[in-house]
Amino acid sequence: MKPSVKTSRRDFIRKGSLVAGSLALSPTLLSAACKSPDNTKKLGIALVGLGGYAGGQLAPALQKTKNCYLAGIVTGTPSKAEEWSKKYNIPQKNIYNYQTFDDIAKNPDIDIVYVVLPVSMHKEYTIRAAQAGKHVICEKPMALNAADCREMINACKKANKLLSIGYRLHFEPHNMEVMRLGQKQVFGKVTKVDTGNGFVYGGDPNAWRLKKALAGGGGLMDMGIYAIQGARYTLGQEPIAVKATQEKTNHELFKEVDETVYWELKFPGGQKVTGKSSYNNNWGFLRAEAEKGTFELEPAYGYDGIDGKINGKPMQQPNIIQQAAQMDDFATCVAMNKQSRVPGEEGEKDMKVIDAIYRSLDSGKWENIG
């Protein structure tokens, strides 16, 4: 998601209110979405954090979902609470702030909590939501590091609640076709993957995304995670090592976080896999070469307008409301007590790669993953 100013949460943080499965080899990856059982009530979702992504993508998508609906909100800004209540007809009893968040445990209207906060807050609110008896969707990147991811996974398991990560592209037809072509080796073994994602940052220079303590990193965490995902779900394998380099042209804006990062991933199958991320380049592609053909996506990772080619010819897949498909699928999985195709373990795997990339940037050497 692209940057937006989230003053209420930044003020909240500044005031010190914080309380201190295999991806591609799993058959669930390529399976159809969980089928909704007949006569199942819509499940209520509460959005935690009402920034640009929640307001611009998730809330509108929840007006199009079949298995879930926008039942509640959590915000530190009273004016936002009032605005959202009127716009989406949310009753006052389903509106919380960060101090009253744990009272959500008593609310039967809310089945799922969707954490859409700065990355540094993902762990805390995922764990608190699970302890409150709610299933959880956590936006990507899952946490500041893989160790935090493991704590979140364990907490949800202990509470017997499902955890899913906001990987909308696992429900997007073009990307799903790339998964099928690569993992099923439709054109033989994939021999090369090149992918990149980024945009030219023009937002608030004081935004949380540019603060290492809040975001964990820059373009790599925010944009690069899509490219890492793309390589992983194209090949259906987990990378074992990485070597990375970076460049920075705007040292003042990106003084705390990375601007542009390049990496090479080593996979068990020996494929040549390269990737890049940036807050200063408009990238968004995934290209794969196989023994008997090629396939690619460009644009690859956006909210709409995704396009692709197979052996140079149009892929002919539809564009959909990705977030609606993602949330509908999780709601159905909750209703059926089925694991999401993008569980917490999926977010942990990406963070293991990102942790290793940052180690490589420091060491200048190949770093093992995991």
DSSP character at residue 276: E
Given CA atoms 223, 22, 57, 212 in this order, what sign does their dihedral have? negative
Q: Is 322 helix (H, G, I), strand (E, B) or coil?
A: helix
Bridge pairing between strands 241-247 and 135-138: unpaired
Which spans in the chain are helix H? 7-14, 27-30, 52-53, 59-61, 78-88, 122-131, 146-158, 173-183, 212-215, 219, 225-235, 322-336, 344-363
Decide: 235 and 314 in contact? Cβ < 8 Å: no
Only one residue has tokens 């990355």, namely: 119
Could you list the active site residues? 140, 226
Residue 356: phi, psi to the nearest 5?
Answer: -70, -35
What is the distance between the alpha carbons of residues 355 and 185, in angstroms, rounded to a whole number?
A: 29
CB atoms within 10 A of CB 89: 8
Q: What is the CA 171 to chain-centroid distance, rounded?
A: 12
Beta bridge partners of 225: none
Q: Provide the b/e sequence for 279-313 (b: ≥16 CB within 10 Å).
A: bbbebbbbbbbbeeebbbbbbbbbbeebbbebeee
Q: Is 195 helix (H, G, I), strand (E, B) or coil?
A: strand
As given in the structure block, the two tokens for residue 321 are 């409301």
CA 245-250-253 angle, 5° bins: 110
